[in-house]
């Protein structure tokens, strides 16, 4: 290899090493914290612009790298039946660190189904604003956002509607549905 070839090879190597550094200098870091009723919880953050997801990552762990710019940050709680989310404006600054936080108010709902005085297999249909958000088996509890729900228990061909059920932050609500 000639002296000029070595020089060009060295120059090319230095340029290739500096490209990631240039890309990193045009971005920032996003860290997020998810809480459920004030306690640490797991969830994800999605950075969106014009309804399009541009970056996503887990909260509570490694920082998410994102290009500098303005986004809508959508924070989601893991494990809740109704998949709650909170949106907030977010500006990632070049070389900066953006911290996002969300606290979700939830409670637990359990529907117990019995037939002729004994526990029975059945299911509960959970709706909010007329839209079904999920089902639960008898005796199974689920985390739901605090609020109002329509709950209907089904056992074979029978139904029992509970109407509007209010679930408060931190509440563990148990509904009993007795069938003949």
SS (H, E, C) 8-63: HHHHHHHHHHHHHHHHHHCEEEEEEEEEECCEEECEEEEEEECCEEEEEEECCCCC
**pLDDT value for 26:** 76
**141 in the same domain as 81:** no
**77 in the same domain as 50:** yes
User: 11 lies in a domain?
Assistant: no
**136 in the same domain as 96:** no
**119 in the same domain as 68:** no
Cβ pair 153, 113 in contact under 8 A? yes
Among candidates 108, 109, 48, 110, which has minimal Cα distance to 76? Answer: 48
Cβ pair 175, 165 in contact under 8 A? yes
**pLDDT value for 159:** 96
**pLDDT value for 61:** 86
**pLDDT value for 17:** 34
Does this model's pTM top 0.95? My answer is: no
From residue 69, how far is each of 33, 56, 92, 174 by CA, in Å? 21, 15, 5, 46
Q: Structure tokens of 93? A: 């600054």
Q: How many CB atoms lie within 10 A of CB 21?
A: 8
Among candidates 106, 127, 89, 125, which has minimal Cα distance to 39? Answer: 106
User: 19 lies in a domain?
Assistant: no
**pLDDT value for 180:** 86
Stated length of the chain: 180
**116 in the same domain as 96:** no
**pLDDT value for 25:** 52
Domain of residue 156, CATH code: 2.60.40.10
Q: Pick out the chain residues at pLDDT < 70.
A: 1-25
User: 31 lies in a domain?
Assistant: yes
Which structural domain, as residue segments, surrounds residue 40? 27-104
Choose one of 45, 72, 104: the last residue of a domain: 104
Choose one of 80, 104, 128: the last residue of a domain: 104
**100 in the same domain as 34:** yes
**119 in the same domain as 75:** no
Three-state SS for 82?
A: coil
Round the average pLDDT of the chain to a whole number and report it. 88
Please state, in angstroms and rounded to a whole number, the distance separating the CA atoms of residues 161 and 152: 4
């Amino acid at each position: 290899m000639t002296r000029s070839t070595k020089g060009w090879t060295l120059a090319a190597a230095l340029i290739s090493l500096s490209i990631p550094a240039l890309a990193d200098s045009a971005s920032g870091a996003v860290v997020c914290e998810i809480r459920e009723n004030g306690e640490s919880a797991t969830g994800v953050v999605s950075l969106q612009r014009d309804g399009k997801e541009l970056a996503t990552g887990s909260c509570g762990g490694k920082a998410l790298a994102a290009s500098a710019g303005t986004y809508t940050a959508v924070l989601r709680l893991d494990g809740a039946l109704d998949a709650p989310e909170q949106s907030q404006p977010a500006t990632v600054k070049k070389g900066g660190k953006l911290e996002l936080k969300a606290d979700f108010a939830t409670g637990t709902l359990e529907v117990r189904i019995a037939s002729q005085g004994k526990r029975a297999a059945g299911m509960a249909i959970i709706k909010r604003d007329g839209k079904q958000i999920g089902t639960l088996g008898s005796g199974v509890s689920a985390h739901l956002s605090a609020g109002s729900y329509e709950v209907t228990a089904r056992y074979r061909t029978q139904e029992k509607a509970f109407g509007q059920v209010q679930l408060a932050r931190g509440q563990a609500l148990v509904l009993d549905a007795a069938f003949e």
